[in-house]
Amino acid sequence: MNLLFAAILAIRLTAPVDTLPAYDRYPVYAGADLGLRYSPAASVFRIWSPTAQEARLSLYPNDSVTVAGKVVELTRGAGGTWLVSVPGDWKGWRYVFRVRIGDAWSRETPDPYARAAGVNGKRAVVLDLRQTDPPGWKQDKSPAFSAANRPTDAVIYELHLRDIDVDSGSGVRYRGKFAGLGEWGTRNSDGLATGLSHLKELGVTHLHVLPFFDFNSVDESRPDSPQYNWGYDPLNYNVPEGSYSSDAGDAAVRIRELKGMIASIHQHGLRVIMDVVYNHTALTGSSCFNELVPGYYYRHNPDNSFSNATACGNETASDRPMFRKFMLESVLYWLAAYHIDGFRFDLMGVHDIATMNLISDSVHRLRPDVVLYGEGWTAGQSPLPDSVRALKKNVARLHGIAVFGDDLRDGIKGSVFDAHDKGFVAGNLGDAESVKFGIVAACPHPQIDYSKVNYSKAPFATAPSQVIAYCECHDNNTLWDKLGVSAPGASAADRENMQLLALTIVLTSQGIPFLYEGTELLHTKRGIDNSYNAGDSINEIRWGVEKERLREVAYLALLIRMRQAHPAFRMTTAAQIAANIHFEAAPEGCIIYMINGAAVKDSWSKIWIAFNGTGLTQKLTVPPGLHAFQVGAVSESGPSVDGSVDLPGYGAAIYYR
């Protein structure tokens, strides 16, 4: 028995056999060979379907034919599996399974472990995966993102594969494709860097890419038709999405082009975080999981209907051994086969703590530098108790996994559930304590009045590496659009300053900073908040505006460089934060704090930071002997000051010794 499977068994829910639900009595398969094992001499297929009485494999020469070229019966194997070895070289052939449970045969389905698929993922494909490597793939290595590769050293930039370069002005040849994100040296008509080159210049360390596994909502057979989706509707978890390849009909092309994209990103010094969605499936009754083992992979309500904590029609049962095993092996597959550098878990609060810790322990045993984080909430009620789920309030029980800090997010810009609600940067003075809570990464701090924090009434983190510091993501309005709705009377100049103030707060906060695509270009989705299928015209980054946003781009790049150069913004323990960040008395609507940089061996021994969330200039007293950090200017140091400074409305000031 391998060590990972032993770990799975060790954390199985235990109870007397006569009290266990039927699903928990199903046999558990210990092997690592579910799915296809290919060789030119024979292909071996194994599926898990413990309640089946018969199982059948059908092989098709391509996607379009309707009559199978070969049908073979599988035989019973260990642990509820069915298997067959088919002699000969079947490379390129499509394959599906059917099982008989009772008197009914299932529909044809690819197996959950498929690693290659045909158009629209309806049939899996027999491939020699070793032949999908682009030139130099075996030499590909992830770049270090700091000397220590600590999570708080990361600066994450979230993007969608189409959004980032599908604009005709991006200068990218393979727009909206895996190959497009990997292109280097692209420029717009003004000669300014776009795509990957722009992101490199910006200075971020990790590219968080929205789902690029095989999802259900885009018809891959119509590549020239206008189609768009974020991709949070999983179909085949271990297969790249075909619409992002140059030829969805060639199962090897999508794999090779994705690897090529990752290799290019690595070559240029950035890392790739994969957005994964194990919490639900696009299909429910007809999913590959449910066709092979009805009901098992999902949680249910007392009336046996599918529970729905995801608001997507179902929720997967990560606490059951075979889905726990699936999640673990899927993550490890992407890690090894595609050199992925991190994983973001969608609606992670649906998953149980034990499974998430098993994944983290297993991943970090192989790659300690991998960044893991997720949404510490659900979209509805789950039958699994809160106490055992990977919720924000339970983050201290997770092993090396961070959660998004929604207290800071909504403290900065206002509630995402009410577009008109103002945040601190737009003049809501009551949100200052929520921002301060985010500045200390939700860790214990003696100066935080938790009764005034918007959501968390107590610290939930025990280390800054457990918290993602952010103010916007793909969900809801962009920051620019949110400010337009919540502060409708603000001038364009004030609104720009609000945006820059928000980004300054994020990049000077403790924790792991996270930026949304195009924020440096004041990206707008034209007022559409839930733009998951709204199309390119709403979601795309418009590279033609870059020349108008040089100030904002330079501002953000300088902030990122400052953060990466100074460990005072990247503390690693809650004790350091509590001891070395001191909030000072400030006028209403302002936040002022001092960081003791010397305590963490920073070249800046003292750092004084002020945020002005009001529209009025504030006269503030600056400690003597400090230098002004000229954020957004060419020079990164300014004259010594002694006395007061006039901080403009919606402005930030950083001084240091």
Beta-bridge mates of residue 99: 55
Q: What is the pLDDT of residue 147?
A: 80
With both helix axes pointing from N to C terminus, report the angle between 492-508 and 550-565 in degrees, rounded to the nearest 10: 20
Q: What is the pLDDT of residue 17?
A: 38
Q: What is the pLDDT of residue 146?
A: 84
Cα(first)–Cα(last) distance of the chain, in Å? 58
Beta strands in 35-122 (DSSP E): 35-38, 42-48, 54-60, 70-73, 75-76, 81-87, 94-101, 104-105
Global pTM value: 0.95
**Residue 320: pLDDT above 50?**
yes
The Cα-based distances of 258 to 272, 340, 498, 601 in angstroms read 11, 11, 37, 41
The Cα-based distances of 162 to 54, 218, 336, 399 in angstroms read 43, 13, 25, 33
Quick one: what percent of the chain has pLDDT higher than 70? 95
Q: What is the pLDDT of residue 641?
A: 61
Torsion angle defined by CA atoms of residues 483, 543, 210 and 47, in that order, rounded to the nearest 10 degrees: 160
Residues in the chain: 657
Tens of pLDDT, residues 180-195: 999 999 999 999 999 9
Three-class SS of residue 596? strand
Q: What is the pLDDT of residue 14?
A: 38
Q: Which residue has the higher pLDDT, 373 or 11?
A: 373
- Element housing 557 (H / E): helix 550-565
Q: Which is nearest to 180 in space by CA: 193, 171, 192, 169?
A: 171
Q: What is the pLDDT of residue 149?
A: 87
Q: Which residue has the higher pLDDT, 146 or 308?
A: 308
**Segment 164-173 mean pLDDT:** 98
**Residue 1: pLDDT above 50?**
no
Q: What is the pLDDT of residue 489?
A: 93
Question: Poorest-confidence range of 260-274, 424-438, 638-652?
Answer: 638-652
Tens of pLDDT, residues 405-425: 999 999 999 999 999 999 999
Cβ contacts of 146 within 8 Å, gap of 6 or more: 153, 154, 205, 564
Catalytic positions, please? 346, 375
Name the pLDDT band for 631 (thresholds 50, 70, 90).
low
Q: What is the pLDDT of residue 636?
A: 44
The residue type at 462: T
Cβ atoms of 187 and 139 closer than 8 Å: no
What sign for the dihedral angle of Cα 387, 390, 395, 398? positive
The residue type at 384: L
Name the pLDDT band for 15 (thresholds 50, 70, 90).
very low
Tens of pLDDT, residues 550-565: 999 999 999 999 999 9
Tens of pLDDT, residues 46-99: 999 999 999 999 999 999 999 999 999 999 999 999 999 999 999 999 999 999
- Element housing 505 (H / E): helix 492-508
Q: What is the pLDDT of residue 7?
A: 54
Cβ atoms of 79 and 29 closer than 8 Å: yes
Cβ atoms of 534 and 525 closer than 8 Å: yes
Tens of pLDDT, residues 212-250: 999 999 999 999 899 999 999 999 999 999 999 999 999
Phi first, then psi, for residue 133 (nearest 5°) are -80, 130
Q: Which is nearest to 638 in space by CA: 630, 646, 647, 650?
A: 630
Q: What is the pLDDT of residue 634?
A: 34
**Residue 11: pLDDT above 60?**
no
**Segment 560-584 mean pLDDT:** 98
What sign for the dihedral angle of Cα 544, 549, 554, 556? negative
Q: What is the pLDDT of residue 16?
A: 37
Across the chain, what does the average pLDDT equal? 95
CB burial class (10 A; 0-12, 13-18, 19+) of residue 359? buried
Q: What is the pLDDT of residue 267?
A: 98
